Amino acid sequence: MIDVIVVGAGPTGMMLAGELRLRGVRVVVLDRESAPTPVVRALGLHARSLEVLAQRGLVDRFLALGTRHPLGGYFAGIAKPQPTGLDTTYPFVLGLAQTVTERLLTEHAVALGVEIRRGTELVGLAQDERTVTAELADGSTLTARYLVGCDGGRSTVRSLLGIAFPGEPSRVDTLLGELRLTATPETITAVNTEVRRTQLRFGAAPLGDGFHRVVVPAAGVAEDRTVAPTFDELRQQLIATAGTDLGAHAPRWLSRFGDATRLAERYRRGRVLLAGDAAHIHPPLGGQGLNLGIQDAMNLGWKLAAQVDGWAPPGLLDSYGAERRPVAADVLDNTRAQMLLVSLDPGARAVRRLLSEVMDFEGVTRHLIEKVIATAVRYDLGDGQDLLGRRLPDVAVADGRLYDHLHAGRALLLDPTGELSVAGWGDRVDHLIDDTVDLPAVLVRPDGHVAWVGDGEHDLATSLTRWFGEPDAATRPLSAPPR
């Protein structure tokens, strides 16, 4: 039997499929489109997503194909210098088209043995206490132990589950396209500079293949959001916004996006879960959407694999929604704020000027940027030291870097004393004894977040049981809590 069906072969779905397959879970990915989309909606990877990729030994493939951009101006386009001292190995935005990100994640998943079935549309769902059955458009069915909807903002999975998606509808639309421009590079730069003094939802950027990516405010909000704008519509908006169409012609694709903000009421119903845009949508300011989905997949992957493998402790799978939904809610809030800050309304402009003054304090700028790049995320794991619930940066260890020890997708006990033990959990948790690190003993989950900080063997055993289930009876240490 299939262990997990993943619906949606975008970056979230392929990241999740790879995470599951890394732990031996049999995964089938379904996607209704016959081929990957050529539409480039997202253009970059933030620090936390790069850390996630580094934790699996993948980041160099992405760095080799991307362009590193400074982080100044990534909150509502307010131009401030990049804050110093960002606690990450990747203090930049990696410019990389979504199509490339998706391709690299797909190659990784396929190399691990993930099966992808394109041109396969989900139309129905049924589940019982043991399985989920997916009904497909061709009349066939597919049964698995779990199913995850990674099928975007108009998620079929979410709709079939009847999970509410409350929030606000779009109030403004933005047109997006890839097309040719006859205007000179100097003219395009001058127009960009002038228009963006006030209108930050405008831009024309070269793609390096004779085409430009053009973004321009729409005249209104589309009633049918599934219908792409016409070329004439985009051209007229260029003229209305910039006073010129820049010689636009030969569009190869056109699209639109809005500023709708919605959050799924829950991330799980029975054996079916949601991730990525299927669980949350928000304005694209700060480029957080794709990154949020990849990080959802990182959190969910090891937990769902543990459930499939049979060692997951009670509540582990539900902790996915408990941890990730508040993160999404925070992203929704910061993108709502950014949309207000790019408005041309006089009151909004006044707030923008005031915030710009406050951001002259570097601590303020760092706080806002860390929200966007997700390095400030801290899961609520209860009372404890400041490290608890936070992601551990890629610190140097005696034999290299910390993240090198997370490539297999297992947890890690980083032990500077050599006096601790993971006996009983050795099939799920690795043990690195290293007295060169300037850290207390920490238990790092497979997603890189700290599950325990301390020095007591009994407290450690309690946390090991909480996150990684009961110890193996044959090797269970005496200090482990009773069954």
Answer whether residue 16 is part of any domain. Answer: yes
Listed residue (83, 59, 87) closest to 70, CA to CA: 83
Indicate if 160 and 193 belong to the same structural domain.
Answer: no
Question: What domain range includes position 27?
Answer: 2-167+262-373
Where does a domain end: 223, 238, 258? 258
pTM over 0.85, yes/no = yes
Token pair in block for residue 176 = 């997006």
pLDDT for position 473: 63
| CATH for 222 | 3.30.70.2450
Answer whether residue 480 is part of any domain. Answer: no
Token pair in block for residue 362 = 């570097």
3-class DSSP state of 54: helix
Answer whether residue 387 is part of any domain. Answer: no
Listed residue (390, 412, 388) closest to 401, CA to CA: 412
pLDDT at 481 over 50: no
Reported as a pLDDT band with limits 50, 70 and 90, residue 476 is low
pLDDT at 480 over 50: no
Burial profile 282-291: b = 16 or more Cβ within 10 angstroms, e = fewer: bbbbbbbbbb
User: Distance between CA 213 and CA 361 in Å, rounded?
Assistant: 34
Indicate if 21 and 133 belong to the same structural domain.
Answer: yes
Indicate if 160 and 269 belong to the same structural domain.
Answer: yes
Indicate if 233 and 196 belong to the same structural domain.
Answer: yes
Indicate if 154 and 118 belong to the same structural domain.
Answer: yes
Token pair in block for residue 295 = 């990080």
How many Å is the maximal CA-CA distance in the chain?
Answer: 77
Answer whether residue 61 is part of any domain. Answer: yes
pLDDT at 482 over 70: no
User: Distance between CA 394 and CA 404 in Å, rounded?
Assistant: 9
| CATH for 425 | 3.40.30.120
Measured between alpha carbons, how far is residue 462 from residues 152, 210, 479 in Å?
38, 59, 9
Where does a domain end: 310, 342, 373? 373
pLDDT for position 393: 96
On average, the pLDDT of the chain sits at: 94
| CATH for 323 | 3.50.50.60
Token pair in block for residue 369 = 């940027």
Least confident of 54-58, 313-317, 380-384: 380-384
Where does a domain end: 373, 408, 425? 373
- Give the burial class of 342: count Cβ atoms within 10 A of its Cβ; 0-12 exposed, 13-18 middle, 19 or more buried: buried
What's the structural domain count of the chain? Answer: 3
Listed residue (336, 320, 230) closest to 276, CA to CA: 320
